[in-house]
Structure 1
């Protein structure tokens, strides 16, 4: 059995591990040699390890999976893996090895394995054009730019550029700017794919924070976690352990 190698890029460690275990079951001859937490790291690790196949999440901090694939420029065959089906462009059926939605099940992964074997990897030239097109689309995606939120008894249009953070409870999400606090009926799960990942990071299951508003990151010795201090707001925000890796590289 010929040994093959793979790289998995996903900003969530649990997702990387789940895919690695699925590959062990379905594709035992494919050895995962590296894991990346963002697109930029994926590009660097791909050029270091030269894998036979690269699995790329699409929505990642620092650099998206699409941007990473464009930078790799066809050097390595790519399978896109994402939780959001709005990126499922049908043109990928003609060019990419495959496009998988999370959570990836074994039967679907077996189809990816068969596709890879059938192609033995000869990347069509049209895939590069598709990647370039998608890269341009991701540079200017249709992200939310305005939030219609309740401030007291009135409605206000708030630019996402003003928002310091979003923080949710079970029913409402708090929209905090330097000058006011507002409420919207949208969950963090609903908001996340509609916000620019280069502008907003999820730091807790209930909190999204504007990256350029972060003034300081410090350890919370009492909770053995991290706290963020934002410019223009006195309240520190908790970073849960699952998102601490975002700041370990800063």
Structure 2
């Protein structure tokens, strides 16, 4: 029994890589509040990136997309993250954030293509729907982070409005915007930041209208066919 459980978990990850990516993203939400401006916080930040970015590449490799493009984005992002921690160079973190943003958008697009090309709803597609949402949210959050570094004062908040927004605040803004919740304690002020937020608003509406609604429709059709048989 002790040997069978690891095998079942291994089988789950092998057949449902989207579930592993989704679990890693959600786990990182628990870890992010532990990160701060200290050296230990930056090390933890880098450790999360070292886990999540390869998982994003793994998900892409299971889709019809070209895997080499994902690695072309992932490897420099990982290298720059490590160098930024070791050498304490914030501008490297900004550059790495741009590459990670591109990687997450690429992985999200690959998962969307995977879900749209299938005509039946499987468990992996349901996990992929959740993983795609997190990939989009992380991708825009990294874009916000780079925007803030390039254009100081792009974002303001209810607490200490003059200071740069932390990573968790930008991720919170991204989640709120993508899900159309619209919590307003973090707001874009600069033109560049507002354009990014508008792009994310359109992405959130489009994702629900095309991908989520399609999965719901296919699920309803499957249940109706099963009831008819």
Is TM-score (shorter-chain normalized) higher than 0.5? Answer: no
More strand by share: 1
TM-score, length-normalised on structure 2? 0.31
Higher relative contact order at CA 8 Å, sep ≥6: structure 1 or structure 2? 2
More helix by share: 2
Computing the radius of gyration over CA atoms, which structure comes out larger, 1 or 2? 1
